[in-house]
Amino acid sequence: MNYPNGQRKTLPVRKTPSEKESKSFSNRGMTLEDDINITNQFYLDTNKAVIHKKPTPVQIVNVNYPKRSAAVITEAYFKQASTTDYNGLYRGKYIDFEAKETKNKTLFPLANIHDHQISHMESIIGHGGVSFLIIRFAAYDETYFMETEKLFSFWNDKLKGGKKSISYEQVKQNSFLIPFQYQTRVDYLSIIDKLYF
């Protein structure tokens, strides 16, 4: 490329992904949260549901203003523990769920869930809402929909001194596999339709 001052600039050459990378779904570069956000946007665009990621409540303490257009937050704290990741409405029902991704191949650690989240999910169910957990095993690129009631049984077992995790096999047996699709990457509403409508 030639610039007005006569200097030449060479543009970097784009590397094409290897054949193995392009065939593998695990190398798409998307996280579970990205996939759910794309799915939720599709639901919103097609007027199917209104479900959003909850913002994490943060208290800003210090901001650096090097210039007016470039403020930088230099210190902030979480105001309170967040409840679950997503909430909204679908077919007149309140929807509230947590999404977790694990790199572990054999189990889902219950340490990924917190007491206040369990209490929140219990409240949602107690008021007639729909609450669930979405678990992705990144190693297998498999995503599962687990009803909160099933999660509670594993959680209560843990509180009684039982296992501190749910095995991969138990997740498969007690959950619904959510197949990956192009526009609805994590189509959890299709499972809600089967369970509640």
Is 117 annotated in some ligand binding site? Answer: yes
- Cα–Cα distance between 96 and 108 in angstroms, integer? 20
Torsion, CA 186, CA 49, CA 147, CA 26, rounded to 10: 10
Residue 132: strand, helix, or coil: strand
Q: How far is CA 165 from CA 1, 26, 106, in A?
A: 57, 24, 10
Is 45 annotated in some ligand binding site? Answer: no
Is 83 annotated in some ligand binding site? Answer: yes
- In the chain, % helix, strand, coil (3-state, to 5) comes to 35, 30, 40
- Cα–Cα distance between 44 and 61 in angstroms, integer? 34
Q: Tokens representing 98? A: 């947590």
Residue ranges of alpha helices (H) inside 56-184 are 115-126, 148-159, 168-174
Q: Mark the binding-site residues, compressed into ranges.
A: 83, 85, 98, 117
Q: Mark the binding-site residues for Mg(2+), compressed into ranges.
A: 83, 85, 98, 117
